[in-house]
């Protein structure tokens, strides 16, 4: 028999959001305790900085080039490899995903995809190897089980959330709210008990109660927060007063200083900041980052950390329930997110074609089951989401299948397995407003390099190179610095040698409607 596995993910959460990773705003004692009693990975990178490709990597254990989900709107094929299916078929695991899945497009008015059909059909699966799927998104209006639950039980609160999409255009709204008029902020009148974070925890507990005591299980508990819109319950606003917050360390300050830093990077950075070119499809199309005020960044930061605290408390409820069932000693807990958030760094918000720590570096914590007797450790070597599925296999006592491209996470920062960890790779592809951007990044030995592939926007000679030891904020691009020419050549060769070939033919991107 293997051990039980609780896999917890958030959406769009920064590495420094947690106290155990240096965060000083949100109180996260539950996750901090997991880190203290387990293994904390201080240089974990996602393989894509946007939702669908990143989540496809988590479930397949494959790089983006291989599974083929190259941007949001590209569905992972239903027959694609799935660690949940492997655990279910080979290990007899009971499997469930509660919360946000997003292996398929969310905006699907024709109900082409199973995730959007399940609740409408009053079904809970099976799908992708999960015997049970009970899904939620970021708002109450949608096609999810949470939406159906809200319609049945709390219809008066369905429109309490910020309205993310304009129903006429199906594009993101950019109007602001809160105290400062900050984009996609709203003081949400919803009851905390009905908020999606609480619902995800409640439904996870209910699913665990449906299992037999002797079952091995793999449960993916997936919170939609702290992804925008930033609209936690109004009742919780007193947790963090935005007026008391400092600006983020990665916020350069004046607009002139922001422009000077961005001008040293490839041109889509500054073009998006000033509104010259919309290259970020993950932000409202009429949002101009240069319009952000310092107070708006403070208020958004406060809303994010309120949501982080609610997630931490929800995790605590689920872990306490596992303990009451007598399963705590036999349950491995892994915690991560799909990607980060700019959250004021470089004067920007959201995420997009920007390969920097704010988006690439993610929290990753593994608290092995106490019965496994694995000592707590801090691992500084690079690891990635591609290593999660192989780790689940190792916990289950199953061989890692050939279709997985990662390796089980190291349990120590020392020894042969840790020494093999030299690099981690992240990819980005997008086509938006007629502009295509393709990034390939490698982190190794404290340096990060990003190669820009040839497109109509770039000729293939552009790139970014950062010395993270001396420039942790990534404000100085060394790409054109002759003193780093040898290192640049070496890192680019390393990237080329370790990036798998792209899927051929590429998967299609679906129209939202």
Label each residue of 420-438 as H, E or C: CCCEEEEEEEEEECCEEEE
- Distance, in Å, from the CA atom of 381 to the CA atom of 402, rounded to the nearest integer, reads 24
| Rounded mean pLDDT, 83-96 | 98
DSSP 185-252: B--B-S-GGGSHHHHHHHHHHHHHHTS-TT--EEEEEEEEEESSSB--BGGGGGG--GGGPPPPTT--
The answer to whether 100 touches 8, Cβ cutoff 8 Å, is no
Pairing of β 447-452 and β 463-467? antiparallel
What number of other Cβ atoms are within 10 A of residue 405's Cβ? 21
- Distance, in Å, from the CA atom of 321 to the CA atom of 331, rounded to the nearest integer, reads 12
In sequence order, what are the residues at sequence separation of 6 or more whose Cβ sits closer than 8 angstroms to the Cβ of residue 374?
39, 368, 411
- Distance, in Å, from the CA atom of 414 to the CA atom of 407, rounded to the nearest integer, reads 16
Helix/strand/coil (H, E, C) string of 369-384? CHHHCCCCEEECCCEE
The overall average pLDDT reported for the chain is 96
In a domain? residue 436: yes
| Rounded mean pLDDT, 454-464 | 94
Q: What is the CATH number of the domain that holds 222?
A: 3.40.720.10
CA 148 to chain CA centroid, nearest Å: 25
- Between CA 451 and CA 335, with CA 12 as vertex, the angle to 5 degrees is 105
Indicate the angle between helix axes 196-209 and 145-153, nearest 10 degrees. Answer: 100
In a domain? residue 513: no
Task: Please say if the pLDDT value at position 513 is more than 60.
Answer: no
In a domain? residue 141: yes
- pLDDT tens per residue, range 196-230: 999 999 999 999 999 999 999 999 999 999 999 99
- Distance, in Å, from the CA atom of 7 to the CA atom of 12, rounded to the nearest integer, reads 16
In a domain? residue 205: yes
Measure the CA dihedral 62/66/67/68, to 10°: 140
| Rounded mean pLDDT, 231-253 | 97
In a domain? residue 193: yes
71: phi then psi, degrees, rounded to nearest 5 = -165, 170
347: left (phi over 0), alpha (psi -120 to 50) or beta: left
415: left (phi over 0), alpha (psi -120 to 50) or beta: left
Burial of 360 (0-12, 13-18, 19+ CB in 10 A): buried
- Identify which has the larger pLDDT, 416 or 51: 51
> Which of 160-165's residues contact partners 24+ apart within 8 Å by CB, and which partners?
160/188, 160/189, 160/190, 161/186, 161/188, 161/190, 161/229, 161/231, 162/186, 162/188, 162/229, 162/230, 162/231, 163/139, 164/138, 164/139, 164/228, 164/229, 165/107
Tokens 């002797």, residue located: 214
Would you say the C-alpha torsion 284, 286, 291, 293 has a positive or negative sign?
Answer: negative
443: phi then psi, degrees, rounded to nearest 5 = -110, 130
Task: Please say if the pLDDT value at position 1 is more than 70.
Answer: no
- pLDDT tens per residue, range 348-386: 999 999 999 999 999 999 999 999 999 999 999 999 999
Confidence band, pLDDT 50/70/90 cuts, at residue 241: very high
Burial of 487 (0-12, 13-18, 19+ CB in 10 A): middle
- Position 512 scores a pLDDT of 61
What number of other Cβ atoms are within 10 A of residue 61's Cβ? 28
The total domain count for the chain is: 1
In a domain? residue 300: yes
What domain range is 337 assigned to? Answer: 4-498
In a domain? residue 171: yes
Name which of 331, 274, 256 is nearest 4 in CA terms: 331
Q: What is the DSSP letter of 158?
A: G
- Position 61 scores a pLDDT of 98
- Position 280 scores a pLDDT of 83
| Rounded mean pLDDT, 3-19 | 98
Q: Alpha carbon of 194 to those of 18, 140, 143, 232, 233: distances in Å?
A: 24, 10, 17, 11, 9
Q: What DSSP element (H or E) covers 489? A: helix 485-498
- Distance, in Å, from the CA atom of 199 to the CA atom of 136, rounded to the nearest integer, reads 9
The answer to whether 82 touches 59, Cβ cutoff 8 Å, is yes
- pLDDT tens per residue, range 297-327: 999 999 999 999 999 999 999 999 999 999 9
- Show the tokens assigned to 66: 């291989």
């Amino acid at each position: 028999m293997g051990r039980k596995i609780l896999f917890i993910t958030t959406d769009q959460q920064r590495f420094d959001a947690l106290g155990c990773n240096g965060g000083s705003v949100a109180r996260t004692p539950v996750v901090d305790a997991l880190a203290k009693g387990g293994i904390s990975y201080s240089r974990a990178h996602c393989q894509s900085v946007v939702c669908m490709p990143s989540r496809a990597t988590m479930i397949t254990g494959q790089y983006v080039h291989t599974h083929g989900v190259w941007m949001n709107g590209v569905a992972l094929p239903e027959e694609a490899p799935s660690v949940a299916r492997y655990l279910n078929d080979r290990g007899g695991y009971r499997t469930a995903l509660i919360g946000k899945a997003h292996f398929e497009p969310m905006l699907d008015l024709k109900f082409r995809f199973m995730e959007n059909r399940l609740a409408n059909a009053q079904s809970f699966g099976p799908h992708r190897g999960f015997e049970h799927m009970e899904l939620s998104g970021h708002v109450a209006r949608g096609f999810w089980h949470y939406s159906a639950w809200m319609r049945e039980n709390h219809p008066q609160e369905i429109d309490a959330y910020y309205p993310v999409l304009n129903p006429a255009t199906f594009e993101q709204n950019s109007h602001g709210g809160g105290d400062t008029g900050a984009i996609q902020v709203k003081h949400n009148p919803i009851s905390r008990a009905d908020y999606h974070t609480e619902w995800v925890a409640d439904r996870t507990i209910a699913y665990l109660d449906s299992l037999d005591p002797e079952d091995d299980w793999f449960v993916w508990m997936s919170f939609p927060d702290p992804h925008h819109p930033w609209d936690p319950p109004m009742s919780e606003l007193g947790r963090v007063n935005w007026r008391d917050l400092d600006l983020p360390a990665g916020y350069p300050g004046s607009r002139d200083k922001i422009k000077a830093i961005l001008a040293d990077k490839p041109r889509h950075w500054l073009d998006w900041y000033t509104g010259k070119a919309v290259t970020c499809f993950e932000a409202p199309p009429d949002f101009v980052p240069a319009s952000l005020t310092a107070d708006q960044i403070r208020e958004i930061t406060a809303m994010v950390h309120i949501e982080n605290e609610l997630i931490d408390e929800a995790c605590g409820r689920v872990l306490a329930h596992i303990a009451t069932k007598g399963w705590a000693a036999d349950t491995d807990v892994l915690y991560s997110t799909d990607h980060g958030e700019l959250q004021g760094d470089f004067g920007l918000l959201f995420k997009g074609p920007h390969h920097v720590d704010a988006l690439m570096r993610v929290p990753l914590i593994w608290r092995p089951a106490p019965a496994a007797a694995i000592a707590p450790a801090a691992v500084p070597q690079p690891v990635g989401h591609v290593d999660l599925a192989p780790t689940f296999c190792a916990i289950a006592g199953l061989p890692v299948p050939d279709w997985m491209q990662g390796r089980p996470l190291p349990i120590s920062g020392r020894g042969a397995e840790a020494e093999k960890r030299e690099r981690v790779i992240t990819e980005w592809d997008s086509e938006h407003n007629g502009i295509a951007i393709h990034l390939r990044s490698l982190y190794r030995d404290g340096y990060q390099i990003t190669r820009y592939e040839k497109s109509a926007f770039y000729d293939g000679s552009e790139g970014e190179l950062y010395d993270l030891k001396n420039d942790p904020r990534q404000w100085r691009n060394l790409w054109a610095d002759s003193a780093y020419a040898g290192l640049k050549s070496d890192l680019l060769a390393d990237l080329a040698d370790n990036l798998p070939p792209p899927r051929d033919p590429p998967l299609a991107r679906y129209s939202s409607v």
